Structure 1
Amino acid sequence: MSTEMKIDTWLTDMDGVLVREGDAIPGAAEFLARLIEKDRNFLVLTNNSIFTQRDLSARLAHSGLQVPENRIWTSAIATGQFLNDQAPNASAFVIGEAGLTTALHEVGYTLTNTAPDFVVLGETRTYSFEAITTAIRLIEKGARFIATNPDATGPSPEGSLPATGSVAALITKATGVTPYFIGKPNPMMFRSAMNQIEAHSESTAMIGDRMDTDVIAGIEAGLETFLVLTGSTAKSEIERFPYRPKHVVNSIADIVDRI
């Protein structure tokens, strides 16, 4: 694939690319402004299932970044869409926050702990032993197990926090059942996002800060991939992986002129 391919649509990760611990990364505001100025198709993608699109738009605005609600695509929304496609108007027991429960309500799902069709695990800051126990027992009784994303930890100013993948591993250990993960690195997350904005893989790029989620999912979805070095992956770590991003840049600021 030519390095000078015409890119009509831009997908970008949020944490580590546009913001870091609540602060805008230099160049992010200019990147977003250029997308709007050039009337480019774009979406901000995140595995974070805690917040709704409105919540995330407001949080980004607080950091000085203007991203309309309809330009944000979360693993919670992708999960709701997947479940609606697989089993419309079914039921689920949910461990998660407003981003996930809202997404499931909007596709017509009933949230219940009585014989649900699915157990759906998302990210939350208040995992409860009682809820995890309920999830285990429902899965043992036949509920199908879905998780919004496989991230084992999440960032915070104080250090790492246990995330969806860690709790999923606990439930899997107890039940012997592995969940189907919807978010990155599942390329389904990208395909659902591109379908939402009628984009085509041949002219779409993905910008991310993680080799094991953003880059590999972008490659598997057939996208042009950019790795920025402002987040989780250091330049020295790239060689560990058996695949490569198409481009490695210091930060989002280095991509502004590509738009």
Structure 2
Amino acid sequence: MLKEKKYFLFDIDGTLAVGETLYDGTKELLEWIERKGGRSFYITNNSTKSRKDYVDKFARWGIEASEEQFMTASYAACLYMKEHYAGKKVFVLGTPSFVEELKGFGVQVTEEAEQDVTCVLAGFDDTLRYEKLEKACKLLFREEVDFLGTNPDLRCPAPFGFIPDCGAICGMIRDTVGREPHFIGKPNRVIADLCAKQCRGSSEEFLVVGDRLYTDIACGINAGMETAVVYTGEADEEEVRTSIWKPDYCFDTIRDLYEAVKEAAETGEKAE
């Protein structure tokens, strides 16, 4: 089935890169997809960066990409908030970049625990201060204030291992106020659906690639797409064996995926 893949939905952190370092094989795979007339999308749950930030980051790696190729948790959150909280005030735990992106969609953002706040929205916030957590909890002890999170990831890959992600931040708040957040990003299929809307392909032509089973692989399964896990981030073989989220393909690295899809395509071409 790999020879039929034309549209690739890649997670970024732990899949294509870690921090500022691009994994071996990533650039070659993305260039190969482009040469074959396919298209790459980037479906990250990282809400610290806007789509423009990612375009600039990929450019530093020598990879040309447009904003339309990035379906981030922050972008999905912006669309969700515009639809469900138009004209309402939202308290945001997030980076300045995320806040500015929300404002660009017309969301009324505040960093104060004001009486007319209707929702607390938490993202992966590497500018987090304890004061922000205190204000979020103060708001969420009011039952009429909704609790949303951009993504449920517990940890984010870092050059030395992992750092707390949005799911871990929301976990602190959840354990304090006794309320579960509603998550907007992966494994919610909406991010994959946004990519599919830009293409006219069948579900068999899509492949979702990531390093986490409960977000990346679950997102692909929820969207009815085949999935591939790489063991350069969070998941390992033991987790794949025990998880309810079973990928269709498993690879040690992104280079291994590149070699596999290239071989499958070449074999298919020879057979024809």
TM value normalised by structure 1: 0.89
Correspondence for 2:147: 145
2:32, 2:239 → 1: CA distance? 30
Instruction: Show CA shifts across 1:193-244 (max 9, x none).
Output: 4335566544321011122221122112110111122222223432121342
Find the counterpart in structure 2 of residue 211 from structure 1: 213
Residues in 2 aligned to 1:130 and 1:240: alpha-carbon distance in whole angstroms: 39
Over 3 Å counting, the alpha-carbon distance change for 1:74 and 1:249 in structure 2 is same
Matched, 1:10 2:21: no
Which stretch of structure 1 is more off in the superposition, 24-33 or 189-198? 189-198
Contact kept? 1:29, 1:66, Cα under 8 Å: no
Tell me, yes or no, if structure 1 residue 118 matches structure 2 residue 119. yes
Kindly report which structure 2 residues correspond to 1:117-196, keeping only aligned pairs within 5 A, or say none.
Answer: 117-141=118-142, 142-195=144-197
Distance 1:43 1:168 in 2: 27
Q: Secondary structure at the match of 1:213?
A: helix
Q: 2:119 and 2:80 mapped to 1: Cα distance? A: 12
Match of residue 245 from structure 1:
247
Look up the match of 1:70: 68
| TM-aligned CA deviation for residue 79 of structure 1 | 0.8
Question: Offset of 1:250 from its aligned partner?
Answer: 2.9
How does the TM-score come out when normalised to structure 2?
0.85
Q: Distance in 1 between matches of 2:71 and 2:242?
A: 29
CA distance in 2, matches of 1:75, 1:200: 24
Distance 1:140 1:201, change over 3 A: farther
Distance 1:6 1:252, change over 3 A: same
**1:36 counterpart residue number:** 34
For residues 175 and 192 of structure 1, the distance between their equivalents in structure 2, rounded to whole angstroms, comes to 33
Is residue 54 of structure 1 aligned with residue 56 of structure 2?
A: no
CA RMSD of aligned residues (A): 2.2
Unaligned runs of 5+ in 1: none
3-state SS of paired residue (1:46): coil
Classify 1:87/1:195 alpha carbon distance in 2 versus 1 (closer, same or farther; 3 Å): farther
1:194/1:24 CA distance change after superposition, 3 Å:
same
Give the match for residue 234 of structure 2: 232
- 1:60 CA displacement: 2.7
Note if contact 1:206-1:223 (Cα within 8 Å) is conserved in structure 2.
Answer: yes
Return closer, same or farther for 1:41/1:53 CA change in 2, 3 Å cut-off: same
What is the CA–CA distance in structure 2 between the aligned matches of 1:90 and 1:198, rounded to whole Å? 36
- Aligned residues of 2:187 and 2:215 also touching (Cα < 8 A): yes
Residues in 1 aligned to 2:135 and 2:198: alpha-carbon distance in whole angstroms: 34
Shift in CA distance, 110/197, structure 1 to aligned 2, threshold 3 Å: farther
Residues 1:19 and 1:133: Cα distance change in structure 2 (over 3 Å): same
Report what 1:90 is aligned to: 88
The secondary structure found in structure 2 opposite 1:225 is: strand
Q: What residue in structure 2 maps to residue 105 of structure 1? A: 103
Cα distance change of structure 1 residues 18 and 135 upon mapping to structure 2, 3 Å threshold: same
CA distance in 1, matches of 2:96, 2:200: 27
Give, as a single letter, the amino acid of the residue that structure 2 aligns with 1:23: T
Instruction: Tell me, in whole angstroms, the C-alpha distance in 2 between the residues paired with 1:4 and 1:11.
Output: 14
Greater C-alpha Rg: 2
* Runs of 5+ unmatched residues, structure 2: 266-272
Aligned mates of 1:200, 1:100 — CA distance in 2 = 33
CA distance in 1, matches of 2:196, 2:104: 20
